[in-house]
Amino acid sequence: MAEILKIGVIGAGQMGAGIAQVCALAGIDILLNDISAERIREGLVHVDTNMGKLIERKQINENTRKAAMDRIKGTSDPHLFADCDLIIEAASESEEVKRKIFTSICPMLRKDCMLATNTSSISITRLASVTDRPERFIGIHFMNPVPRMQLVELIRGIATEDTTFEAAKGLIKRLGKTAIVSEDFPAFIVNRILLPMINEAIYTLYEGVGTVDAIDTAMRLGANHPMGPLQLADFIGLDTVLSVMQVLHEGLADSKYRPCPLLVKYVEAGWLGRKTQRGFYDYRSGTPIPTR
């Protein structure tokens, strides 16, 4: 398979912007797409701000930032994906949304263009089945935040060909990250382990075993975790945490994966964590304050 020189990224949120950033810094041209010009603009600002922080830490210089930003072009027109070598979908963690995206873009792409999804939990085989190229479809699951996290999970669907897998593995190496291979099971490896831990922390809060502060302090100081599980849930987004737990619960039919009712209640309230300024912490004052 030919070298990957141009990538279309669908979704300009935190994950999509992060993917665009690391690929542009590796010398790859990027088309960053979303459903509105405003979201694309916010994604580009996010990338530029992140690279400014890299300059402050002396990890890159201004020339490197400018060259990388010049490689990223925003577009709301998916027809411009026609000359891309790879499309990476990084939209919201909804199978319905992802299926619609892949169904709609396939007719616009070259026949040899690869497709990838950044899903953190959904079946690669099922997503590939709605495309016209399941053999060129693969899961490339970057960790959040993409620029800082070293790991990438590669997940093959039942039809994924070796050439697609090797091209994806080569891309991750080019980005300076470490790839691990997961079988196509619900939530793969990292989230299969991590999200039930977070869900159990929410149950611990729900049952009154400890407060938000006590639970997070316990795991930071007692298990040496860099951040507490409830703080981490807010960072990931409580809607995403719930989506992954639902995939695990439905896909594995085991009651141990049942989403905590308190998690459901917070999502129903629109308290999704940092992105809405309220979750297990209230961020509106600038200082995180536990909500329980």
Residues serving a catalytic function are 120, 141, 153, 191
> Are 137 and 128 spatial neighbours (Cβ–Cβ below 8 Å)?
yes
Tell me how far apart the alpha carbons of residues 215 and 204 are, in angstroms, rounded to a whole number. 8
- Our measurement of the distance from residue 145's CA atom to the centroid of its chain's CA atoms, rounded to an integer in Å, reads 8
Would you tell me how many other CB atoms lie within 10 Å of the CB of residue 57?
Answer: 7
Q: Supply the DSSP string of 93-162, one letter for each residue.
A: S-HHHHHHHHHHHGGGS-TT-EEEE--SSS-HHHHHTTSS-GGGEEEEEE-SSTTT--EEEEEE-TT--H
Would you tell me how many other CB atoms lie within 10 Å of the CB of residue 287?
Answer: 8
Tell me how far apart the alpha carbons of residues 37 and 44 are, in angstroms, rounded to a whole number. 11
> Are 89 and 32 spatial neighbours (Cβ–Cβ below 8 Å)?
no
Tell me how far apart the alpha carbons of residues 140 and 132 are, in angstroms, rounded to a whole number. 19
